[in-house]
Amino acid sequence: MRDIYFEDWGPGWVSLTFTAIFGVFLIRQAYLLNKARESSRLRILVTGSRGKSGTVRLLHNLMIGSDIRTYSKITGTTAVELFPDGSEKPTVRYGSAGIPEMKMAMRRSLKLGVTSIVFESMAVTPKLIELVDRIVKPHIGVIPAITLDHTEEEGLNELEIATNIIYSIRNCREIFVFEKRPEIKDAYKQMSEEFGFNLHFVEKHPDQPEVAGHHPTNVAMTIAIGEFLGLPWEKVCEQCSLEPEANIFHRIELPDQTIDLFDISGANDPESAKNAFAGLPIEKDRVVIPIVVNRWERPQRGVIFSEVFREYEPFVLRCGPRKRGNNNIATQQENFLMLEPQHLLSIETLARLINEKINTEEKQNVALVLFANVHQASADRIRKIFENKGETLKQVQAN
Protein backbone atom coordinates (compact mmCIF):
# COMPACT_ATOMS: atom_id res chain seq x y z
CA MET A 1 0.00 0.00 0.00
CA ARG A 2 1.35 3.41 -0.99
CA ASP A 3 2.17 5.86 1.73
CA ILE A 4 -0.09 8.90 2.06
CA TYR A 5 1.71 12.22 2.31
CA PHE A 6 -0.68 14.79 3.66
CA GLU A 7 1.71 17.60 2.83
CA ASP A 8 0.99 16.93 -0.85
CA TRP A 9 -2.59 17.97 -0.25
CA GLY A 10 -1.54 21.57 0.47
CA PRO A 11 -1.83 23.08 -3.02
CA GLY A 12 -5.18 21.42 -3.59
CA TRP A 13 -6.60 22.62 -0.27
CA VAL A 14 -5.34 26.14 -0.91
CA SER A 15 -7.00 26.22 -4.33
CA LEU A 16 -10.20 24.77 -2.92
CA THR A 17 -10.22 27.31 -0.07
CA PHE A 18 -9.79 30.28 -2.39
CA THR A 19 -12.46 28.91 -4.74
CA ALA A 20 -14.89 28.59 -1.83
CA ILE A 21 -14.10 32.12 -0.60
CA PHE A 22 -14.64 33.52 -4.09
CA GLY A 23 -17.91 31.59 -4.38
CA VAL A 24 -19.14 33.05 -1.08
CA PHE A 25 -18.10 36.51 -2.30
CA LEU A 26 -20.12 36.12 -5.52
CA ILE A 27 -23.16 34.84 -3.63
CA ARG A 28 -22.96 37.79 -1.24
CA GLN A 29 -22.67 40.29 -4.12
CA ALA A 30 -25.70 38.75 -5.84
CA TYR A 31 -27.64 38.86 -2.55
CA LEU A 32 -26.83 42.54 -2.00
CA LEU A 33 -27.76 43.38 -5.59
CA ASN A 34 -31.12 41.68 -5.24
CA LYS A 35 -31.71 43.34 -1.85
CA ALA A 36 -30.90 46.74 -3.38
CA ARG A 37 -33.56 46.21 -6.02
CA GLU A 38 -36.11 45.15 -3.42
CA SER A 39 -35.32 48.19 -1.24
CA SER A 40 -35.85 50.75 -4.01
CA ARG A 41 -39.55 51.16 -4.69
CA LEU A 42 -38.93 53.22 -7.85
CA ARG A 43 -36.17 52.51 -10.37
CA ILE A 44 -35.69 54.63 -13.50
CA LEU A 45 -33.25 53.85 -16.32
CA VAL A 46 -32.38 56.54 -18.89
CA THR A 47 -30.97 55.43 -22.24
CA GLY A 48 -30.99 56.52 -25.89
CA SER A 49 -28.62 58.50 -28.11
CA ARG A 50 -28.35 61.82 -26.26
CA GLY A 51 -29.84 63.80 -23.39
CA LYS A 52 -29.23 61.02 -20.86
CA SER A 53 -27.04 62.80 -18.31
CA GLY A 54 -29.14 65.97 -18.30
CA THR A 55 -32.36 63.98 -17.88
CA VAL A 56 -30.87 62.08 -14.92
CA ARG A 57 -29.94 65.37 -13.24
CA LEU A 58 -33.42 66.81 -13.80
CA LEU A 59 -35.18 63.67 -12.55
CA HIS A 60 -32.92 63.53 -9.49
CA ASN A 61 -33.79 67.13 -8.69
CA LEU A 62 -37.49 66.38 -9.16
CA MET A 63 -37.30 63.46 -6.73
CA ILE A 64 -35.33 65.09 -3.92
CA GLY A 65 -37.40 68.26 -4.35
CA SER A 66 -40.43 66.09 -3.63
CA ASP A 67 -38.79 64.67 -0.48
CA ILE A 68 -38.12 61.29 -2.08
CA ARG A 69 -34.81 59.89 -0.90
CA THR A 70 -33.01 59.29 -4.20
CA TYR A 71 -29.59 58.17 -5.41
CA SER A 72 -28.69 58.75 -9.06
CA LYS A 73 -25.80 57.63 -11.24
CA ILE A 74 -24.45 59.40 -14.31
CA THR A 75 -22.10 57.32 -16.44
CA GLY A 76 -20.11 58.05 -19.58
CA THR A 77 -16.76 59.80 -19.77
CA THR A 78 -17.54 62.12 -16.85
CA ALA A 79 -19.16 59.78 -14.34
CA VAL A 80 -20.89 61.36 -11.34
CA GLU A 81 -22.98 60.16 -8.40
CA LEU A 82 -25.87 62.30 -7.10
CA PHE A 83 -26.87 61.86 -3.46
CA PRO A 84 -30.11 62.31 -1.50
CA ASP A 85 -28.89 65.52 0.15
CA GLY A 86 -28.34 67.19 -3.23
CA SER A 87 -24.56 66.76 -3.21
CA GLU A 88 -22.56 65.00 -5.89
CA LYS A 89 -19.11 63.56 -6.42
CA PRO A 90 -17.18 62.08 -9.36
CA THR A 91 -17.08 58.32 -9.69
CA VAL A 92 -13.58 56.99 -9.08
CA ARG A 93 -12.61 54.56 -11.81
CA TYR A 94 -9.68 52.20 -11.89
CA GLY A 95 -9.22 51.45 -15.56
CA SER A 96 -11.95 51.80 -18.18
CA ALA A 97 -15.67 51.91 -17.51
CA GLY A 98 -17.56 48.64 -17.41
CA ILE A 99 -20.86 47.01 -16.50
CA PRO A 100 -19.66 46.11 -12.94
CA GLU A 101 -19.86 49.84 -12.19
CA MET A 102 -23.66 49.57 -12.42
CA LYS A 103 -23.69 46.70 -9.92
CA MET A 104 -21.52 48.67 -7.50
CA ALA A 105 -23.86 51.66 -7.83
CA MET A 106 -26.85 49.44 -7.06
CA ARG A 107 -25.17 48.12 -3.90
CA ARG A 108 -24.24 51.69 -2.91
CA SER A 109 -27.90 52.66 -3.12
CA LEU A 110 -28.61 49.98 -0.52
CA LYS A 111 -26.05 51.48 1.87
CA LEU A 112 -27.59 54.92 1.41
CA GLY A 113 -31.03 53.60 2.30
CA VAL A 114 -32.78 55.30 -0.63
CA THR A 115 -36.26 54.52 -1.88
CA SER A 116 -35.68 55.69 -5.45
CA ILE A 117 -32.84 55.40 -7.97
CA VAL A 118 -32.29 57.09 -11.35
CA PHE A 119 -29.53 55.56 -13.49
CA GLU A 120 -28.07 56.47 -16.86
CA SER A 121 -27.32 53.39 -18.93
CA MET A 122 -23.58 53.36 -19.50
CA ALA A 123 -23.95 50.84 -22.32
CA VAL A 124 -24.22 51.74 -26.00
CA THR A 125 -24.52 48.34 -27.66
CA PRO A 126 -28.15 47.10 -27.43
CA LYS A 127 -27.09 43.74 -25.96
CA LEU A 128 -25.21 45.54 -23.18
CA ILE A 129 -28.14 47.92 -22.59
CA GLU A 130 -30.24 44.79 -22.12
CA LEU A 131 -27.71 43.55 -19.56
CA VAL A 132 -27.90 46.86 -17.67
CA ASP A 133 -31.69 46.53 -17.78
CA ARG A 134 -31.44 43.11 -16.12
CA ILE A 135 -29.15 44.52 -13.42
CA VAL A 136 -31.35 47.52 -12.57
CA LYS A 137 -34.76 46.00 -13.46
CA PRO A 138 -36.28 49.47 -13.85
CA HIS A 139 -39.95 50.26 -13.46
CA ILE A 140 -39.63 53.20 -15.87
CA GLY A 141 -37.51 53.40 -19.03
CA VAL A 142 -36.68 56.77 -20.54
CA ILE A 143 -35.49 57.53 -24.09
CA PRO A 144 -35.00 61.31 -24.49
CA ALA A 145 -33.71 61.15 -28.08
CA ILE A 146 -32.72 58.85 -30.93
CA THR A 147 -30.09 60.15 -33.35
CA LEU A 148 -27.45 58.89 -35.73
CA ASP A 149 -24.73 58.37 -33.19
CA HIS A 150 -22.88 55.15 -32.34
CA THR A 151 -24.06 53.70 -35.65
CA GLU A 152 -21.35 51.05 -35.42
CA GLU A 153 -22.99 49.58 -32.31
CA GLU A 154 -26.66 50.59 -32.38
CA GLY A 155 -27.85 50.43 -35.98
CA LEU A 156 -27.42 51.83 -39.47
CA ASN A 157 -30.36 54.26 -39.44
CA GLU A 158 -32.58 56.02 -36.92
CA LEU A 159 -35.42 53.48 -37.18
CA GLU A 160 -33.06 50.58 -36.57
CA ILE A 161 -31.40 52.38 -33.65
CA ALA A 162 -34.78 53.23 -32.11
CA THR A 163 -36.15 49.68 -32.31
CA ASN A 164 -32.91 48.14 -31.04
CA ILE A 165 -32.81 50.41 -27.99
CA ILE A 166 -36.47 50.09 -27.01
CA TYR A 167 -36.20 46.30 -27.45
CA SER A 168 -33.33 46.36 -24.93
CA ILE A 169 -35.61 47.86 -22.23
CA ARG A 170 -38.82 46.08 -23.26
CA ASN A 171 -39.24 44.63 -19.75
CA CYS A 172 -39.96 48.07 -18.29
CA ARG A 173 -43.58 48.52 -17.35
CA GLU A 174 -43.63 52.18 -18.43
CA ILE A 175 -41.50 53.66 -21.23
CA PHE A 176 -41.33 57.39 -21.96
CA VAL A 177 -40.08 58.59 -25.35
CA PHE A 178 -39.72 61.97 -27.03
CA GLU A 179 -40.39 61.14 -30.66
CA LYS A 180 -42.12 62.83 -33.61
CA ARG A 181 -41.05 60.73 -36.61
CA PRO A 182 -44.11 58.71 -37.78
CA GLU A 183 -42.21 55.57 -38.80
CA ILE A 184 -40.48 55.35 -35.41
CA LYS A 185 -43.70 56.06 -33.51
CA ASP A 186 -45.45 53.28 -35.43
CA ALA A 187 -42.61 50.86 -34.65
CA TYR A 188 -42.80 51.80 -30.97
CA LYS A 189 -46.57 51.18 -30.90
CA GLN A 190 -46.16 47.75 -32.48
CA MET A 191 -43.50 46.78 -29.95
CA SER A 192 -45.66 48.08 -27.11
CA GLU A 193 -48.47 45.76 -28.18
CA GLU A 194 -46.07 42.84 -28.67
CA PHE A 195 -44.23 43.10 -25.34
CA GLY A 196 -46.96 44.62 -23.17
CA PHE A 197 -45.30 47.80 -21.91
CA ASN A 198 -47.15 51.09 -21.59
CA LEU A 199 -45.83 53.68 -24.05
CA HIS A 200 -45.85 57.42 -23.27
CA PHE A 201 -45.15 59.86 -26.11
CA VAL A 202 -43.81 63.06 -24.57
CA GLU A 203 -44.21 66.53 -26.07
CA LYS A 204 -43.14 69.94 -24.89
CA HIS A 205 -45.42 71.06 -22.05
CA PRO A 206 -47.42 74.25 -22.79
CA ASP A 207 -46.27 75.81 -19.50
CA GLN A 208 -42.76 74.41 -19.70
CA PRO A 209 -40.14 76.75 -18.24
CA GLU A 210 -36.70 77.32 -19.68
CA VAL A 211 -34.14 75.70 -17.39
CA ALA A 212 -30.73 77.24 -17.89
CA GLY A 213 -28.15 74.70 -19.01
CA HIS A 214 -30.71 71.99 -19.84
CA HIS A 215 -32.22 70.97 -23.17
CA PRO A 216 -35.99 71.55 -23.55
CA THR A 217 -36.48 67.88 -24.50
CA ASN A 218 -34.99 66.74 -21.20
CA VAL A 219 -37.18 69.22 -19.30
CA ALA A 220 -40.29 67.98 -21.14
CA MET A 221 -39.39 64.38 -20.31
CA THR A 222 -38.97 65.22 -16.63
CA ILE A 223 -42.30 67.07 -16.48
CA ALA A 224 -44.10 64.12 -18.10
CA ILE A 225 -42.64 61.63 -15.61
CA GLY A 226 -43.39 64.03 -12.75
CA GLU A 227 -47.05 64.24 -13.80
CA PHE A 228 -47.22 60.45 -14.17
CA LEU A 229 -45.88 60.00 -10.63
CA GLY A 230 -48.04 62.78 -9.23
CA LEU A 231 -45.06 64.95 -8.28
CA PRO A 232 -44.96 68.77 -8.50
CA TRP A 233 -42.83 69.21 -11.61
CA GLU A 234 -42.25 72.89 -10.89
CA LYS A 235 -39.52 71.63 -8.55
CA VAL A 236 -37.46 70.78 -11.62
CA CYS A 237 -36.49 74.44 -11.98
CA GLU A 238 -35.26 74.89 -8.43
CA GLN A 239 -31.52 74.53 -7.86
CA CYS A 240 -31.04 71.93 -10.56
CA SER A 241 -27.47 70.75 -10.99
CA LEU A 242 -25.69 71.22 -14.31
CA GLU A 243 -23.30 69.26 -16.44
CA PRO A 244 -19.65 70.38 -16.20
CA GLU A 245 -19.14 73.56 -18.26
CA ALA A 246 -22.89 73.97 -18.85
CA ASN A 247 -24.12 77.57 -18.85
CA ILE A 248 -20.62 79.06 -18.50
CA PHE A 249 -17.73 80.00 -20.76
CA HIS A 250 -14.16 81.18 -20.27
CA ARG A 251 -12.46 84.35 -21.50
CA ILE A 252 -8.81 85.33 -21.69
CA GLU A 253 -7.91 88.97 -22.36
CA LEU A 254 -4.57 89.31 -24.11
CA PRO A 255 -3.00 92.76 -24.65
CA ASP A 256 -4.49 93.14 -28.15
CA GLN A 257 -6.88 90.21 -28.46
CA THR A 258 -9.77 88.47 -26.64
CA ILE A 259 -10.18 84.69 -26.85
CA ASP A 260 -13.32 82.92 -25.55
CA LEU A 261 -13.75 79.19 -24.98
CA PHE A 262 -17.18 77.54 -25.20
CA ASP A 263 -17.62 73.85 -24.39
CA ILE A 264 -20.53 72.03 -26.06
CA SER A 265 -18.78 68.67 -26.11
CA GLY A 266 -21.80 67.03 -24.45
CA ALA A 267 -23.60 67.22 -27.81
CA ASN A 268 -23.30 63.70 -29.24
CA ASP A 269 -24.62 64.27 -32.75
CA PRO A 270 -24.64 67.03 -35.39
CA GLU A 271 -28.24 68.06 -34.73
CA SER A 272 -27.76 68.62 -31.01
CA ALA A 273 -24.40 70.29 -31.67
CA LYS A 274 -26.15 72.68 -34.04
CA ASN A 275 -28.82 73.48 -31.44
CA ALA A 276 -26.21 73.99 -28.72
CA PHE A 277 -24.12 76.19 -30.99
CA ALA A 278 -27.14 78.34 -31.89
CA GLY A 279 -27.66 79.12 -28.21
CA LEU A 280 -24.12 80.28 -27.51
CA PRO A 281 -23.73 83.99 -26.66
CA ILE A 282 -20.91 84.53 -29.16
CA GLU A 283 -20.24 88.20 -29.78
CA LYS A 284 -20.45 89.37 -33.40
CA ASP A 285 -16.82 90.40 -33.68
CA ARG A 286 -15.54 86.90 -32.88
CA VAL A 287 -13.97 84.56 -35.42
CA VAL A 288 -15.51 81.15 -34.62
CA ILE A 289 -13.02 78.27 -34.62
CA PRO A 290 -14.28 74.77 -33.72
CA ILE A 291 -12.03 72.19 -32.05
CA VAL A 292 -12.76 68.51 -32.63
CA VAL A 293 -10.96 65.37 -31.48
CA ASN A 294 -9.90 62.68 -33.89
CA ARG A 295 -11.21 59.30 -32.80
CA TRP A 296 -9.18 56.43 -34.21
CA GLU A 297 -12.27 54.23 -34.60
CA ARG A 298 -14.31 57.01 -36.28
CA PRO A 299 -11.96 59.04 -38.45
CA GLN A 300 -14.73 60.84 -40.35
CA ARG A 301 -16.82 61.81 -37.31
CA GLY A 302 -15.15 65.19 -36.87
CA VAL A 303 -15.69 66.01 -40.53
CA ILE A 304 -19.42 65.29 -40.22
CA PHE A 305 -19.75 67.39 -37.06
CA SER A 306 -17.79 70.24 -38.58
CA GLU A 307 -20.50 70.79 -41.20
CA VAL A 308 -22.50 72.43 -38.37
CA PHE A 309 -20.00 75.31 -38.41
CA ARG A 310 -19.30 75.45 -42.11
CA GLU A 311 -20.73 78.92 -42.71
CA TYR A 312 -18.99 80.45 -39.69
CA GLU A 313 -15.42 79.22 -39.44
CA PRO A 314 -12.33 79.70 -41.60
CA PHE A 315 -10.84 76.41 -40.40
CA VAL A 316 -11.26 73.62 -37.84
CA LEU A 317 -8.65 72.65 -35.26
CA ARG A 318 -8.22 68.92 -34.71
CA CYS A 319 -6.39 66.98 -32.02
CA GLY A 320 -6.10 63.39 -30.94
CA PRO A 321 -4.75 60.18 -32.49
CA ARG A 322 -4.93 59.41 -36.18
CA LYS A 323 -6.28 56.07 -37.31
CA ARG A 324 -3.62 53.51 -38.14
CA GLY A 325 -3.26 53.23 -41.88
CA ASN A 326 -4.76 56.72 -42.31
CA ASN A 327 -2.06 58.90 -40.79
CA ASN A 328 -2.67 61.69 -43.30
CA ILE A 329 -6.45 61.86 -42.97
CA ALA A 330 -6.37 65.15 -41.07
CA THR A 331 -4.15 66.86 -43.63
CA GLN A 332 -6.16 65.51 -46.54
CA GLN A 333 -9.27 67.40 -45.41
CA GLU A 334 -9.51 71.01 -46.53
CA ASN A 335 -9.52 73.65 -43.77
CA PHE A 336 -8.41 71.24 -41.04
CA LEU A 337 -5.39 72.03 -38.89
CA MET A 338 -3.85 69.61 -36.41
CA LEU A 339 -3.17 70.82 -32.87
CA GLU A 340 0.22 69.57 -31.74
CA PRO A 341 1.62 69.58 -28.16
CA GLN A 342 3.90 72.52 -28.94
CA HIS A 343 0.83 74.63 -29.73
CA LEU A 344 -0.58 74.08 -26.22
CA LEU A 345 2.31 75.18 -24.05
CA SER A 346 0.44 78.37 -23.15
CA ILE A 347 -2.33 80.67 -24.33
CA GLU A 348 0.35 82.66 -26.19
CA THR A 349 1.48 79.66 -28.25
CA LEU A 350 -2.12 78.76 -29.05
CA ALA A 351 -2.93 82.36 -30.01
CA ARG A 352 0.17 82.47 -32.24
CA LEU A 353 -1.02 79.42 -34.18
CA ILE A 354 -4.52 80.85 -34.58
CA ASN A 355 -3.29 84.28 -35.71
CA GLU A 356 -0.91 82.77 -38.25
CA LYS A 357 -3.75 80.73 -39.73
CA ILE A 358 -6.24 83.60 -39.81
CA ASN A 359 -3.53 85.60 -41.59
CA THR A 360 -4.85 89.14 -41.21
CA GLU A 361 -2.89 92.29 -40.51
CA GLU A 362 -4.93 93.12 -37.42
CA LYS A 363 -5.49 90.49 -34.73
CA GLN A 364 -9.07 89.20 -34.53
CA ASN A 365 -11.06 88.34 -31.41
CA VAL A 366 -11.72 84.60 -31.36
CA ALA A 367 -14.34 82.17 -30.02
CA LEU A 368 -13.08 78.61 -29.68
CA VAL A 369 -15.83 75.95 -29.51
CA LEU A 370 -15.11 72.46 -28.16
CA PHE A 371 -17.54 69.97 -29.66
CA ALA A 372 -18.14 66.35 -30.71
CA ASN A 373 -17.35 64.69 -27.37
CA VAL A 374 -14.00 66.37 -26.97
CA HIS A 375 -12.46 64.24 -24.19
CA GLN A 376 -8.75 63.85 -24.83
CA ALA A 377 -5.43 65.04 -23.41
CA SER A 378 -4.98 67.98 -25.81
CA ALA A 379 -8.58 69.15 -25.37
CA ASP A 380 -8.25 68.87 -21.60
CA ARG A 381 -5.05 70.91 -21.81
CA ILE A 382 -6.99 73.69 -23.57
CA ARG A 383 -9.63 73.60 -20.83
CA LYS A 384 -6.93 73.82 -18.17
CA ILE A 385 -5.29 76.83 -19.84
CA PHE A 386 -8.56 78.77 -19.83
CA GLU A 387 -9.52 77.69 -16.31
CA ASN A 388 -6.16 78.81 -14.92
CA LYS A 389 -5.58 81.96 -16.97
CA GLY A 390 -9.07 83.09 -17.91
CA GLU A 391 -12.23 84.52 -16.41
CA THR A 392 -15.30 82.31 -16.00
CA LEU A 393 -18.47 83.99 -17.23
CA LYS A 394 -22.11 82.98 -17.18
CA GLN A 395 -23.75 82.38 -20.54
CA VAL A 396 -26.75 84.45 -21.56
CA GLN A 397 -28.95 82.91 -24.26
CA ALA A 398 -28.15 84.29 -27.70
CA ASN A 399 -30.87 86.14 -29.56
Confidence of residue 298 (pLDDT cuts 50, 70, 90): low
Edge to edge, what strands does the sheet with 70-74 contain? 88-90, 80-82, 70-74, 116-120, 42-46, 140-143, 174-177, 198-201
Percent of the chain residues topping a pLDDT of 70: 77
Q: What is the pLDDT of residue 296?
A: 58
Contact 75, 120 (CB under 8 A): yes
Other Cβ atoms within 10 Å of 88 Cβ, number: 14
Is 388's pLDDT higher than 60?
A: yes
* Mean pLDDT across 50-59: 88
The top-level CATH class assigned to 248-394 is alpha beta
When the pLDDT of each residue in the chain is averaged and rounded to a whole number, the result is 81
Residue scoring higher pLDDT (264 or 323): 264
The string of pLDDT tens digits covering residues 15-40 is 777 787 878 777 777 777 778 788 88
Contact 277, 289 (CB under 8 A): no
Amino acid letter, residue 103: K
Distance CA 263, CA 213 (A): 12
CATH number of 33-237: 3.40.1190.10
Is 98's pLDDT higher than 50?
A: yes
The string of pLDDT tens digits covering residues 313-342 is 677 787 766 554 444 444 445 567 788 888
Three-class DSSP labels, 41-73: CEEEEECCCCCHHHHHHHHHHHHHHCCCCEEEE
* Mean pLDDT across 269-276: 73
Q: What is the pLDDT of residue 374?
A: 54
* Mean pLDDT across 253-274: 81
Domain locations in the chain as residue ranges = 33-237, 248-394
Q: What is the pLDDT of residue 399?
A: 43
State the pTM of this model.
0.72
Kindly report the length of the chain: 399
**How many Cα atoms occupy the beta-carbon half-sphere of 196 within 13 Å?**
1
Rg of the chain over CA atoms, in angstroms?
A: 25
Is 346's pLDDT higher than 50?
A: yes
Q: What is the pLDDT of residue 165?
A: 92
Contact 219, 209 (CB under 8 A): yes
Is 219's pLDDT higher than 60?
A: yes
At residue 125's C-alpha, the angle toward residues 123 and 130, to 5°, is 70
